[in-house]
Amino acid sequence: MPGMPKAMSETKKTFMGEINLNIFLAQPAKQQVAYVVAYNDFPHSYGDMANPEIVLNNARDMALKTTQSKLISQQDIRSSNNQPGKEIEYVNSAGKITRNRMFFAEGRLYQAMVITTKEQEKYLSKSIRGYLNSFQVVLRK
């Protein structure tokens, strides 16, 4: 992550009950960009039974809804240790573009994101790609 991230936590109400979302955010000075890592654990019973594709699709839909964004692209991906994932790109009404890689493993949803403007994206494309490629899912077992 470029710089020391700020750690935050939010509680979200879902159909499964409350879920804690842990967020780490770095915003380099003089750049219109934010680098984010977030994760949340699902209740044990749900995490064990959940279909990863459904979890990832729900996470995509929630991201689009909460940011009031339009989906630009999406593709199914796998982490380096073969965990299921999805990469999505979307734009909100203010023109901010988000590239988000999500992975679901062991009942936890991981997200690595970069949020920037169209203009900044041109100059930061190598940095954005490097940041997203550096994210690794580490299994707890």
The Cα–Cα gap between 28 and 56 comes to: 29
Confidence (pLDDT) at 69: 96
pLDDT (tens, 9 = 90+) of the chain, 141 residues, equals: 888 899 999 887 776 667 888 999 999 888 889 999 999 887 766 656 678 999 899 899 989 998 999 999 999 999 999 999 999 999 998 999 999 999 999 888 999 999 999 888 888 889 899 999 999 998 876
Ramachandran assignment for 97, one of left (phi > 0), alpha (psi -120 to 50 degrees), beta (any other): beta
CA angle 125, 53, 60 (to 5 degrees): 45
Q: What are 31-70's pLDDT values in tens digits?
A: 889 999 999 887 766 656 678 999 899 899 989 998 999 9
Instruction: Quote the tokens at residue 20.
Output: 């804690």
Confidence (pLDDT) at 74: 97
Rg of the chain (C-alpha set): 15
Instruction: Quote the tokens at residue 47.
Output: 């995490």
What pTM was computed for the model?
A: 0.87
Q: Which residues of 72-101 are buried (b: 16+ CB within 10 A; e: fewer)?
A: eeeeeeebeeebbbbbbbbbeeeebbbbbb
